[in-house]
């Protein structure tokens, strides 16, 4: 059997994956109603209130960030994708909210002890190797004030491993087609996606992979990063069970 390697994904690969094509199918994958519900769940999990300072890492096109701003939080969002940030800024303008959007790498944040809460939602953690993934957690901790909290929403790896690989997901929108082929790389505890997008007579292929951690691994990494308590929830804050589709981790500094 071949040896496992602690693989990672490059910045150009991430930017290629999270392009205008990602935005095009966004409302089909996550409807406005879904975004409203998830923003409310995040608000409650992080115990936010009017004026709370919040940072979303991997904020994408602002589907959650701008909604939290509408609810009264002081919000910042960081992402590697210029295309997604441009969409997020346009949506913030349409909604009449003021959000600080920053193009950057979550492994090196420009803030220190500024935020009440930081969150990574919708599987935006785990793109890198273990050392760099842990660096993301340390940077998040550095950006939080004492008593602040970090929220991570990710796939529950024990639930997906019950399904045979590969799994195909097909999405159609206004004549465009998106096909995702999902595989579990069990030697590296990573999930991989081979994406094919067919739009306007063009075919584009992109690739993404991310590390899947269990709760005990999150506890070890987060305590090492400076967090004192770590809790587990299921999808959108429900009670966690082995069958939960999501693992939501809440850590307090």
Q: Which residue has the tokens 């959000």?
A: 99
CA distances from 137 to 105, 160, 235 (A): 13, 24, 21
Strands 246-252 and 229-233, sheet pairing: antiparallel
Domain residue ranges in the chain: 11-156+213-252
pTM, two decimal places: 0.95
Is the predicted pLDDT of residue 7 greater than 80, yes or no?
Answer: no
Averaged pLDDT score across all residues of the chain: 96
CATH classification for the domain delimited by 11-156+213-252, as one of 3.40.50.150, 1.20.1260.10, 3.10.310.40, 3.60.21.10: 3.40.50.150
pLDDT for position 161: 85
- d(Cα 89, Cα 98) in Å, to the nearest integer? 9
pLDDT band at 162 (very low <50, low <70, confident <90, very high): confident
SS3 6: coil
* pLDDT, position 253: 97
The residues, any chain, with a CB within 8 Å of residue 128's CB and separated by 6 or more, are 8, 9, 107, 135, 136, 211
Q: What's the pLDDT tens digit per position in 169-221? A: 999 999 999 999 999 999 999 999 999 999 999 999 999 999 999 999 999 99
């Amino acid at each position: 059997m071949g040896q496992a390697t602690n693989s990672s994904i490059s910045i150009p690969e991430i930017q290629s994956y999270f392009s205008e094509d990602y935005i095009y199918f966004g409302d089909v994958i996550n409807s406005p109603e879904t975004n409203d519900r998830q923003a409310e769940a995040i608000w409650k999990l992080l115990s936010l209130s009017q004026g709370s300072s919040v940072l979303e890492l991997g904020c994408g096109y602002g589907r959650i960030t701008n909604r939290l701003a509408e609810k009264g939080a002081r919000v910042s969002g960081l992402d590697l994708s210029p295309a997604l940030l441009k969409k997020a800024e346009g949506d913030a303008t349409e909604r009449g909210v003021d959000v600080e959007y920053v193009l950057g790498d979550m492994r090196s944040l420009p803030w220190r002890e500024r935020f009440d809460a930081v969150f990574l939602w919708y599987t935006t953690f785990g793109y890198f190797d273990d050392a760099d993934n842990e660096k993301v957690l340390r940077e998040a901790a550095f950006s939080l004030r004492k008593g602040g909290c970090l929220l991570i929403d990710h796939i529950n790896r024990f639930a997906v491993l019950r399904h045979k690989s590969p799994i195909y997901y097909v999405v159609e929108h206004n004549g465009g087609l998106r096909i995702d082929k999902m595989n579990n790389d069990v030697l590296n505890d990573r999930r991989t996606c081979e994406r094919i997008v067919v739009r306007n007579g063009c075919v584009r292929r992109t690739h993404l992979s991310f590390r899947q951690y269990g709760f005990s691994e999150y506890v070890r990494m987060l305590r090492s990063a400076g967090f004192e308590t770590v809790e587990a929830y299921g999808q959108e804050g429900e009670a966690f069970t082995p069958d939960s589709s999501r693992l939501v981790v809440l850590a307090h500094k």
